[in-house]
Amino acid sequence: MVAPDPVDARLLAMLADSGRAAVHEIAQRLGMDPREAAMRLITLSGSGLPLLVGVECDPNGIRRALANAAAYGNYQGPPPSGAYAVHQSGPHHVSGPHPVAPPQPQPGPQSQPFPVQQQPPPNPWGPPQSAGWVRADQPQPRPMSRTGKVGTTLEADSLEGARLSIQLVEVVDPADFLFTAAGYKLAEGERAVVVHTEVTNASQVPFTSLPDMYLVLVTRTGETVTKAPVSLSSRPAHKLGVQPGETAGGHTVFVLPDTTDLTQVRWSVRPEVDVNTLVWTVED
C-alpha cells in the first residue's frame, strides 16, 4: 500500500480513535469538506485497508421524500455536475440534415409589458439540512425551548436530524468525594464537578455521537470548562450513540480551580455555539 499523505493520515488516525463515525463528523472535527473526506475514505478503502465506507438511511423517510417530490412533477434526478450542463427540452429525433428555413420578415418593435417575476416552486425535499423531509407548504415544527434550569428537559436536533430531548438531571458541585473515591487525586486548589444528563432520541434517526462530547461548564466570567478525560465507577459515563426511541444517561466529570464560580451548563452538537445549543442556569 502507498503511504498516505498527511490529510489521509489524519483521517485514518481520527477513524482509528473512534472505530466508527459518520463521515460528516470526521470532516467537521478535521475542518474538511465532507465531500472531500468521503472521497478520500472511499479511495483508502479501495487501497486494501480494513476500512468500510457505508451509508445509512431511514427507508420509510426516503420513500416519503420521493412521494413528496413526485407531487411536484416527475423526479429526474440531480442536475448534471460536469462543466457543461445538458439542456433537456423534450425528445429529439434525428432523421438527416436539418432543412434550412427561408428567412422570415422581422416585425417592428412592439411595446411589451414588464415580465412578471415568477416565484420559485417550493422545494419538494423540505428545508435544507432537515431530516423531517417535510414539504415546504407543510407547517414547520414548533419552536423549541433552548434555556432552562437544573431538572429541565430541553430539545435539540442532532447533525443527522435526530430529535433529542436532553434533561439536566443533577449538578454535583463539589464532587471531590466522588472523584477521590474512584482513585483519582485532585491537585491543591482544584475541585471536581459531576454533571448528570439523560438523552432521549424521540425520532427514527439514530444519534451516533457521544452525548456529552461538547458539554461544557460556563463560568461567571464567560469562560468555558471542558470535561475531564476520566470516568467514575459510581457514576457511569455516557456511551456512544442513542438509538431511536431509547433514553441514555451518563455522567460527565469536570476539574476546575476551586475558586471558579459556575453559572451555566451548556450542551451543543458542534464545538461552537449554534441554534441547537442548550443552556441550563446553575443557581448558587
DSSP string of 78-127, one letter each residue: SPP-SSSPPP--S-----SSPPPPPP-PPPPP---PPPPPPPPPP-TT-S
Domain count, the chain: 2
In a domain, 105, yes or no: no
| Contact criterion met (CB below 8 Å) for 27 and 33 | yes
- Paired residues of 170 in beta bridges: 196
| φ, ψ dihedrals at 45, nearest 5° | -65, -35
In a domain, 85, yes or no: no
Pairwise CA distance, residues 150 & 196, whole Å: 10
| CB-CB neighbours of 284 under 10 Å | 6
Range of the structural domain that residue 11 is part of = 6-45
In a domain, 264, yes or no: yes
Residue 271: which region, alpha, beta or left (left: phi > 0; alpha: psi -120 to 50)? alpha
Q: What is the dihedral of CA 211, 216, 217, 219, to 10 degrees?
A: -160
Same domain, 276 and 155: yes
**CA 12, 14, 19, 23 torsion: positive or negative?**
negative
What is the model's pLDDT at position 215? 95
Q: Residue 235 carries which DSSP code? A: B
Beta strands in 132-258 (DSSP E): 147-149, 153-157, 163-172, 190-201, 216-219, 224-225, 247-257
In a domain, 121, yes or no: no
74, 88, 108, 123, 131 from 119: Cα distances, Å: 19, 22, 31, 12, 25
What is the model's pLDDT at position 85? 38
In a domain, 53, yes or no: no
CATH number at residue 250: 2.60.40.1240
What is the model's pLDDT at position 284? 61
In a domain, 261, yes or no: yes
- Answering whether pTM is above 0.85, one says no
pLDDT tens per residue across span 92-123:
333 444 444 445 555 555 544 444 445 555 54
Pairwise CA distance, residues 282 & 284, whole Å: 7
What is the model's pLDDT at position 17? 78
| Contact criterion met (CB below 8 Å) for 281 and 275 | no
Pairing of strands 190-201, 224-225: unpaired
In a domain, 119, yes or no: no
Low-confidence ranges of the chain (pLDDT < 70): 1-4, 57-58, 61, 70-145, 284
What is the model's pLDDT at position 66? 80
What is the model's pLDDT at position 14? 78
CATH number at residue 29: 1.10.10
Same domain, 41 and 158: no
Pairwise CA distance, residues 264 & 282, whole Å: 5
In a domain, 201, yes or no: yes
Residues 6+ apart with CB under 8 A from 251: 194, 195, 196, 231, 232, 235, 236, 237, 238
